[in-house]
């Protein structure tokens, strides 16, 4: 199949239909169009993948997009093993999330708008992944940024949701600036923007440039700044936890299938560039390891079911970067795929729980949901085990590959990764225990309302749980030492969490937070990073904006530049109007006075 453009085009068309016809279309039409378009993209991807199963790649030059001087950018698509795998994940998991949404968003008045955005999101991500050049990739990159803004702020009538959407967009913009600058550097030195051209001219980047670093180092570092924004790594991760403001299936889509995986994909796609910049690659691995550990510890104390999962995503993305940065892009991408399955399953499971709890998200209200939501419970348990790294589920194998690569790169990276794996097992077990074991802590009204979700929601859960369980099977090998260490870490994490939280938080858990109130409060408030950013960045910028607006714009530009001219003219007009006031008798008086002067002068000025 050479018509690769059909893959992103299908969901984009679906988005156009849903958004244009938002008022006219019936619900059935909307979800048939939305799910059908993603399903057809999935089928196109499968047929393309079958075509490259023996190696090779598919390329399609759709049209010349930009032609200006030396610059020639084609709208070209590339379907190789890397982008093909991601396209399958995006469309496959995306399709399941679409199906799930038909149940979850059943009563929402903006049904068509929701599915339009969802399709647009999927389409943008497919453009990003299948693009054969950096500018086209940037189109998808910005597309997912815009869609995340639209979907996080989907229920925009609540101020905090709109704020969360704006925060996601702005933080992403910071990263996007780095990405764009990286593209400029690459173009300046190689004169190429498509991946084949970049790969052919990559030697031109070896020359030393600013500050003694090579151009490759600069480009790789700048592009990685873009990746930290999109993939929520330190220090630009702050938007992702707030992204929970959106509907839960959107969180699943952002966290599993689209958006946050873009940075990992980009670094893997430009592996030949990063190979020239080993320092940056090490920084990528270090950043990944630090993020994995840092976000995992925040997950300890969060009480919002979705927030725990959000920090878990940040942590798992750190694992992916650790793998990619340690030189094993394959390992990072493998984890990306397995993570897509179990994280989508976890988020959709959380959505099912929230649905049953009538919108409550605090784990303090939950507990004992095992009997009430048997299917959700079973799938959530499988996904929890997978993310915690219990063999032989998928997470064990993918995490093992990453840890092996980290050990190969630097022992400290391995230690951080292992610790983060133990933390992952801890907070996921804690979440599972608080939600599903023990007795329900909600009030009687909520308890009476508890019910398993409709099949449109449970079937995707079952499919995803099955995938999360078996996705590791294609890559069965593992390093016995690393595997043993990782299993040990998992067992420790699970065991400690189960001791503390099985059947509800035990006194020992409360005792800990009471003994170390400052530490607990710091973790609970996410190390107060949002407050620090607010103080260091947001307030100075707001102050600057105030000065520019009030002093520069209002006083100087409006006052002196814009309003001064009309004011002078109207002042002069005011004087002239005193003379020309329409009073005939005053005209007559002036005329008589003038005539008298003329007569006086005519008579010789005597």
Residues binding other proteins (CB under 8 A): 581-585, 588-589, 592
CA distance 235 to 223: 15
> What's the min distance (Å) between Cβ of 565 and other proteins?
23
Least distance (Å) between residue 606 CB and other proteins: 16
| Distance between CA atoms of residues 34 and 29, nearest Å | 8
Least distance from other proteins to the Cβ atom of residue 572, Å: 17
- Give me the least distance between CB of 553 and other proteins, in Å please: 33
Given the complex with other proteins, which of 515 and 585 has the nearer CB atom?
Answer: 585
CB of 549 to other proteins, least distance (A): 36
- Which H or E element spans position 76? strand 71-79
Name the minimum Å distance from CB 584 to other proteins: 7
3-state secondary structure of 438: coil
Residue 602 Cβ vs other proteins, minimum distance, rounded to whole Å:
15
Dist CA 396 CA 486 (whole Å): 8
Least Å distance between CB 533 and other proteins?
57
Answer yes or no: are the C-beta atoms of 217 and 279 closer than 8 Å: yes
Of 412 and 589, nearer to other proteins (C-beta) is 589
For residues 473 and 595, which CB has a smaller minimum distance to other proteins in the complex?
A: 595
Rounded CA separation 581/564 (Å)? 25
Asked if 442 and 319 touch (Cβ cutoff 8 Å), the reply is no
Name the minimum Å distance from CB 598 to other proteins.
Answer: 14
Q: How far is the CB of 588 from other proteins (least distance, A)?
A: 5
Residue 24 or 579: the one with the smaller Cβ distance to other proteins is 579
Nearer residue to other proteins within complex by CB, 444 or 599: 599
Nearer to other proteins, 28 or 581 (CB): 581
**Token pair listed for 348:** 């959709």
Write the DSSP symbol of residue 528.
G
DSSP string, 170-225: HHHHHHHHHHHHHHHHHHHHHS--BHHHHHHTGGGGGSB-GGG-BHHHHHHHHHHH
Tokens at residue 554, please? 């209002």
CB-based contact 240:260 (threshold 8 Å): yes
- Contact between 277 and 209 under an 8 Å Cβ cutoff? The reply is no
Cα 399 from Cα 417, distance rounded (Å)? 9
Nearest to other proteins of 159, 581 (CB atom): 581
The tokens of 127 are what? 């453009």
Element (H, E) at 74: strand 71-79
Nearer to other proteins, 528 or 577 (CB): 577
CA distances from 175 to 130, 235, 248, 272, 316 (A): 21, 10, 25, 21, 19
Q: Between 159 and 585, name the residue whose CB sits nearer to other proteins.
A: 585
Whose Cβ is closer to other proteins: residue 557's or residue 588's? 588
The least distance separating other proteins from the CB of residue 583, rounded to whole angstroms, comes to 8
Cβ burial 250-278 (10 Å sphere, 16+ → b, else e): bbbbbbbbbbbbbbbbbbbbbeebbebbe
List the Cα angle 400/404/405 in 5-degree steps. Answer: 120
Instruction: Between 439 and 583, name the residue whose CB sits nearer to other proteins.
Output: 583
**Nearest 10 degrees: Cα torsion 188, 192, 198, 204:** -40
């Amino acid at each position: 199949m050479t018509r690769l453009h059909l893959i992103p085009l299908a969901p984009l068309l679906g988005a156009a239909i849903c958004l244009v016809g938002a008022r006219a279309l019936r619900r059935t039409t909307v979800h048939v169009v939305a799910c059908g378009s993603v399903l057809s993209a999935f089928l196109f991807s499968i047929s393309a993948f079958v075509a490259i199963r023996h190696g090779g790649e598919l390329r399609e030059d759709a049209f010349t997009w930009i032609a200006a001087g030396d610059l020639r950018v084609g709208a070209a698509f590339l379907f190789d093993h890397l982008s093909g795998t991601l396209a399958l994940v995006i469309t496959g998991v995306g399709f399941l999330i679409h199906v799930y949404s038909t149940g979850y968003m059943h009563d929402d008045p903006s049904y068509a708008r929701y599915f339009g955005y969802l399709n647009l999101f999927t389409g943008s991500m497919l453009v990003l992944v299948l693009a054969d050049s950096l500018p086209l990739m940037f189109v998808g990159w910005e597309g997912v940024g815009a869609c995340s803004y639209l979907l996080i702020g989907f229920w925009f009538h609540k101020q905090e949701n709109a704020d969360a959407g704006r925060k996601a967009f702005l933080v992403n913009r910071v990263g996007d600036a780095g990405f764009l600058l990286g593209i400029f550097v690459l173009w300046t030195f190689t004169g190429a923007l498509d991946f084949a051209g970049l790969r052919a001219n990559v030697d031109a980047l070896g020359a030393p440039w600013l500050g003694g670093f090579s151009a490759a180092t600069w480009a790789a570092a700048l592009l990685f700044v873009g990746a930290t924004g999109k993939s929520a790594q330190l220090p630009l991760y702050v938007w992702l936890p707030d992204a929970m403001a959106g509907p839960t299936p959107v969180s699943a889509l952002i966290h599993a299938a689209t958006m946050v995986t873009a940075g990992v994909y980009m670094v893997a796609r430009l592996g030949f560039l990063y190979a020239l910049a080993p320092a940056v690659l090490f920084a990528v691995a270090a950043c990944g390891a630090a993020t994995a550990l840092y976000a995992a510890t925040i997950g300890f104390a969060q009480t919002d079911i979705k927030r725990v999962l959000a920090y878990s995503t940040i942590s798992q993305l750190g694992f992916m970067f650790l793998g990619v940065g340690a030189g094993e892009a394959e390992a990072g991408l493998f984890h990306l795929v397995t993570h897509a399955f179990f994280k989508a399953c976890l988020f959709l499971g959380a959505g099912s729980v929230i649905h049953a709890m009538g919108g409550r998200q605090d784990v303090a209200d939950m507990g004992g949901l095992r009997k009430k939501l048997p299917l959700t419970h079973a799938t959530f348990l499988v996904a929890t085990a997978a993310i915690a790294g219990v063999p032989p589920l998928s997470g064990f194998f993918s995490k093992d590959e990453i840890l092996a690569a980290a050990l190969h790169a630097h022992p400290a990276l391995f230690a951080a990764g292992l610790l983060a794996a133990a933390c992952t097992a801890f907070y996921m077990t804690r979440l599972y225990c608080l939600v599903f074991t023990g007795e329900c802590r909600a009030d009687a009204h909520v308890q009476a309302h508890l019910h398993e979700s409709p099949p449109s929601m449970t079937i995707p859960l079952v499919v995803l749980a099955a995938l999360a369980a078996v996705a590791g099977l294609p890559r069965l090998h593992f390093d016995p030492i690393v595997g043993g260490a990782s299993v040990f870490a998992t067992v420790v994490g699970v065991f400690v969490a189960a001791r503390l939280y099985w059947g509800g938080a035990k006194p020992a858990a409360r005792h800990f937070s009471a003994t170390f109130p400052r530490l607990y409060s710091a973790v609970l408030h996410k190390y107060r990073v949002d407050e620090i950013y607010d103080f260091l960045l947001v307030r100075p910028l707001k102050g600057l904006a105030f000065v520019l607006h009030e002093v520069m714009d209002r006083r100087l530009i409006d006052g002196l530049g814009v309003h001064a001219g009309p004011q002078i003219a109207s002042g002069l007009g005011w004087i002239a109007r005193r003379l020309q006031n329409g009073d005939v008798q005053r005209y007559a008086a002036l005329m008589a006075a003038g005539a008298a002067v003329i007569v006086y002068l005519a008579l010789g000025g005597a």
